[in-house]
Amino acid sequence: MKNEAQLFKSLADETRLRILWLLMVKEELCVCDIMGVLRITQSKASRHLRYLYHLGWVTDRREGVWMNYRLSITPGSPEDKQLKLLADILHSQPEAQALRNRLEQWLAAKGQSQDAAACQCS
Partner 1 sequence: MRAEARFFKSLADETWLKILWLLSGTEELCVCDVIDVLGITQSKASRHLRYLYHLGWVMDRRDGLWMNYRLTVTPGSPREKLLKLLTEMLAPQPEAQALRGQLARCLEAKRNTECAKRLKSSQKRSLQELLET
Interaction site with partner 1 (CB under 8 A): 1-2, 4-6, 8-9, 11-14, 16-18, 21, 78, 81-82, 85-86, 88-90, 93, 95-96
Maximum distance among all Cα pairs of the chain, rounded to whole angstroms: 50
Least spacing, CB of residue 48 vs partner 1, in Å? 12
Q: With respect to partner 1, which residue has the nearer C-beta, 6 or 122?
A: 6
Please compute Rg for the chain using Cα positions: 14
Least spacing, CB of residue 43 vs partner 1, in Å? 20
